[in-house]
Structure formats: C-alpha cells, structure tokens
Amino acid sequence: MDMSLTAAIIVQSSNNITKCRVAFFFLSDRVCSLNDYIIVFLPVKHRDLKMKHTDSTLMEKLTSLCKRRGFIFHSSEIYGGINGFWDYGPYGTALKRAVEQLWWSYMVETRGNVEGLDSTVICHPKVWEASGHLAKFGDMMTDCRECKARHRVDQMENPNECPNCGSDNLTEPREFNLMMKTFVGPVFDEDHAAYLRAETCQPIFVDFHHVRIAARQKLPFGIAQVGKAFRNEINPRNFTFRSREFTQMEMEFFCRDEESMDWYEYWKQERIRYYKEELQFDDEEIRIHDHGPNELAHYAKAALDIEFNFPFGWGELEGVHHRGTWDLSRHQEYSGESMEYFDQESNSKFIPTCIETSVGVDRTMLALLCHAYDEDTAETKKEGKAEDARVVLRFPAKIAPVQAAVLPLAKKLSEPAEKVYCDIRKYFRSEFDLTGSIGKRYRRQDEIGTPFCVTFDFDSLEDNAVTVRDRDSMSQERVSLDRIIDVLGKKING
C-alpha cells in the first residue's frame, strides 16, 4: 500500500453539492479548509483510486479497447459477424491461456485428489439423452411479428410486450432447445444426428471409472476439464457474457453422500478464496447467491452462484452445485453399465455423490477486464509526458497477457536491449517495443495491462543495469541485469 499518496475529495460546500472531484496530493495534513471548499485528505491504495466499473460507459470503452488492442473481436467480422461468437486476438489469447492455467494450477496441479480430463466435444447422442439435455434444456421464447425480434420470456419485463418495438403482436411462447446439432458421417438424417456438448462435465461422468482406475483414486476425489461448450442461446448479449460458443472450467468432486455437505462448503470457500486471492477481486465486486428451494434442481441438496458486479448488473460467474447422484445414476440407467463404486472402508457399493464447481472462462475474462479497467489523469503528469490521461488495465501480474515489456530508450540501443528481451522472455510473457517516444510506449503497455516495463537506456551500457517501471505506482527502480530475472520473478509470482 502506497501511503504517501493522498486523495482529496473536493466538495463545493455552498448551494447544493453539485460537484465532487478527486485529486491527488503528496501531503501529510489530513483535513483543512480552503475558501468555499472542504478538503478531506485520505490515505489510499491504488485500487481505491480505480474508477467504478458500474460506470455506464464502461462496456463501450471496454469493447472498443478490446477490439483496438486485439483482445476480443467479432468472429467473421468481414462477413458482417455472427451473433454470439467471438475471437480472441493476441493479447486476448494470452490472457485466456493464463486464466485457464491459473485455474488448472489451483484446482488440479496443486492438489493430489483432482485429476484432469480432455474429452471430445461431440459425444454419443445418448449422453445428452441421459443427462436430460435433449428432453429439457431450453428457454421459453417468443417472436415479435412486427419487428421480428426474438426474446426469452423470462427476460421480458412484460411478457405481452416486445421490448424492442413495444408491439403486443407476439407469438405464443414456445420451448427452444439450446443444444447445437450436427451430423456425424456422410448422411444428414436423424440416425446420424449428434450434438456439440452443452457443458463440459457430462464426459467427466461418462469417463468416471476410466479416470478413477487409471489414476488409482479413491473417494473423495475430483475430475476437472477445461474446454469448449456450445449453446444456441436465444439472445446472446452483454459482449462475451452470453455467447453461443464459450469455454468452461468444470470440476466434479465425487464423495460419500454423508460427507457431501461438508465438501460443498469446502468448495464454496475454496472458490471464494480463488476470486479474492488469485484474481484479486474486491469484496464489493463479488457476492454469493444461494439458490432457494424453488430454484434447486429436484436432485440437488444445495446450489449457489458466485456473481460479479458487471457494469450491466450482477451476473453469474460460477455455479457451485450439489448434484447428488443424478448424473452417474442416469448414465448407469441409459448405458446399462454400472457406475457404482466399491468402498473398501464400508465394504459397500454405491453411486458417489457429486459436488460441482463450474465457471466460464469468457465470463471470468470479462469480469477481469471490468475489474482491471481504469483511467487516471493526475498521476500521469508526474511522468512529464505529452499525454495527461492514461487508460490502464490493472491485471494481476500473474495473468497479465504481457508481464514485462523491454523498451530501448533509443533505436540505437535496440541490439543490446533485444538481448535482455531474449533472456527475459524465457521466463515471462514479454514484448519488445521500440516504436514511438518512451512516454507513448509506457501508455501502450499500460493499456494492455503490462505490470512492468524494463527500460534499457544509455547508462545501461555502462552500469549493466536497467530501469524497472511499475505500472500502478509508476515508480522506477534501477536493477542490475544479473538480478533482473529474480527481481521480476518475485514481483510477478510473489
């Protein structure tokens, strides 16, 4: 925490309070008054200075930044785009891989009782019959006969009025199945129909015994998978929040029924810890929505959503679900294969109970972008650069798409600076940038969330040291080249 930074909230004290501004000072006095202003000085952390992500213009700013800087753009844009499908560009890909790797490390690699799986997207169609997706996985929808818009009935304020044009000329609500259908083999008929998976967990249930036996696991243990899921959403919206193709990170934890509520509580706490400690979300950015009795599936003892405060409102990031024995029982029933587990401890056979944690990568990334987006003005002045304002993505260093940018101060220095870059990139996601003034290059790196810039200047040739500039505090530190990997490693990985 940088306690030397002080924020002053300046409130016009005459008339009604119409203006409230925040400015930054390096003063030790806490309270003073000045003419018709009351000035209160508060010690703050950088995170406290962050603009609120409930700002109504934030989504526009984010989508534009994401496109401009190559994080996320519309799929097939040159053909007019395809609704609900998004491509990740170079920085988006790096961020996505880092998010997936962080989750994998937290949920699988650092635990002895969770195994990995990488299954196919297309499974035997009976998988989706057994899971219940073919019979009932959908929303009620209605079409407007006037403007031709299609709506999910549960999302309409008034189910008799089109939210698009206000007409009451709507079709009868009808069920719409979200499964994406395809055909396997040369004949396009119902006998060859198959489905793109609607959730990544079903193959985990189907492969339960294969994984258990191969990994020599005993209850309790989990199986995790990261991969694509597809849903023919009626109304994709809010950027990537509701897409038709998205990536899930799911973990199914199998246990004895009598211990299942303890495990449910354990995974709830683990997942909250992950958002607060690993992704560094603030307390007020996330909340838990416990499902009431009317929201619970008939087989579930408990369920909750972890929600994030997006600019468009609270939205589900992750579900933690007590799934009982539903999935394994159904696959046993539909396949005719036993899904029972022989428990040596109790010398009995039973179908294990399952606790699930299920999160979307795309929603996590959207939440991270909202959390990270910031604009500051006053602070940038101290760098004495032409621009006054900067846009900065304050990503945690561990997942930033570029963790260290190497910047030669002048083109002449590019050869020795590139050597430093080649060394650094073996350890961290790095970038080499020599175009534009140093101030412009800092701003460019701030905008993609690079936590550290390593500047190679003329002194570097003499003292074999570089300057490491911190994205958030903009403080600069001289570091000798023989310590640079260690210093960056400590800053990035803690």
Residues that bind ligand GAP (CB under 6 A): 199, 201, 231, 233, 242-243, 246, 248, 250, 316-319, 356, 358-360, 362-363
Q: Which is nearer to ligand GAP, 359 or 454 (CB)?
A: 359
Beta bridge partners of 151: 142
Q: Whole-number minimum distance, CB 198 to ligand GAP, in Å?
A: 7
Q: Which residues are paired to 139 by β-bridges?
A: 176
Q: Closest approach of Cβ 485 to ligand GAP, in Å? A: 36
φ, ψ for residue 87, nearest 5 deg: -110, 145
* Closer residue to ligand GAP in complex, CB, 111/237: 237
Residue nearer to ligand GAP on the CB measure, 319 or 401: 319
CB of 238 to ligand GAP, least distance (A): 9
Q: Which amino acid is located at 192 in the chain?
A: H
Instruction: Tell me the closest approach of the beta carbon of residue 87 to ligand GAP, in angstroms.
Output: 15
H-run or E-run covering 125: helix 125-131
CB 134 within 8 A of CB 179: yes
Taking the complex as a whole, how short is the minimal distance between the CB of residue 229 and ligand GAP, in angstroms? 7
Q: Which residue is nearest to ligand GAP (CB)?
A: 360
Read off the tokens for 272. Answer: 């909250």
Of the two residues 6 and 225, which places its CB atom closer to ligand GAP in the complex? Answer: 225
Q: Using the minimum distance from each CB to ligand GAP, give the nearer residue, 356 or 472.
A: 356
Nearer to ligand GAP, 115 or 356 (CB): 356
Instruction: Give me the least distance between CB of 469 and ligand GAP, in Å please.
Output: 35
Cβ-Cβ contacts under 8 Å for 304 (sequence gap 6 or more): 268, 288, 289, 290, 291, 319, 320
Least distance from ligand GAP to the Cβ atom of residue 366, Å: 9
Question: What is the phi/psi pair of residue 344, to 5°?
Answer: -65, -35
Cα gap 206→225, rounded to integer Å: 13
Q: Which is nearer to ligand GAP, 229 or 372 (CB)?
A: 229
Minimum CB distance to ligand GAP smaller for 199 or for 433: 199
- Smallest distance from ligand GAP to CB 5, Å: 35
DSSP states along 415-471: HHHHHHHHHHTTTS-EEE--SS-HHHHHHHHHHHT-SEEEEE-HHHHHH-EEEEEET
Structure tokens that stand for 209 in this block: 């015994």
Bond before 401 cis per omega within 30 degrees: no
Nearer to ligand GAP, 243 or 380 (CB): 243
Token reading at 91: 């920085």
Residue nearer to ligand GAP on the CB measure, 361 or 474: 361
Q: Could you tell me which residues come within 8 angstroms of residue 25 by beta carbon, excluding any fewer than 6 positions away?
A: 6, 7, 8, 41
Determine the 3-state secondary structure of 25 from DSSP: strand
Sign of CA dihedral 297, 299, 303, 307: negative
Q: Residue 364 in contact with residue 100, Cβ under 8 Å?
A: no
| Residue 182: DSSP 8-state | E
Closest CB 130 distance from ligand GAP, rounded Å = 14
Q: Which is nearer to ligand GAP, 262 or 295 (CB)?
A: 295
Closest distance of CB 308 from ligand GAP, Å: 10
Closest CA to 338 of 202, 209, 203, 204: 209
HEC states along 279-302? CCCCHHHEEEEECCCCCCCCCCCC
- Find the shortest distance in angstroms from Cβ 306 to ligand GAP: 8
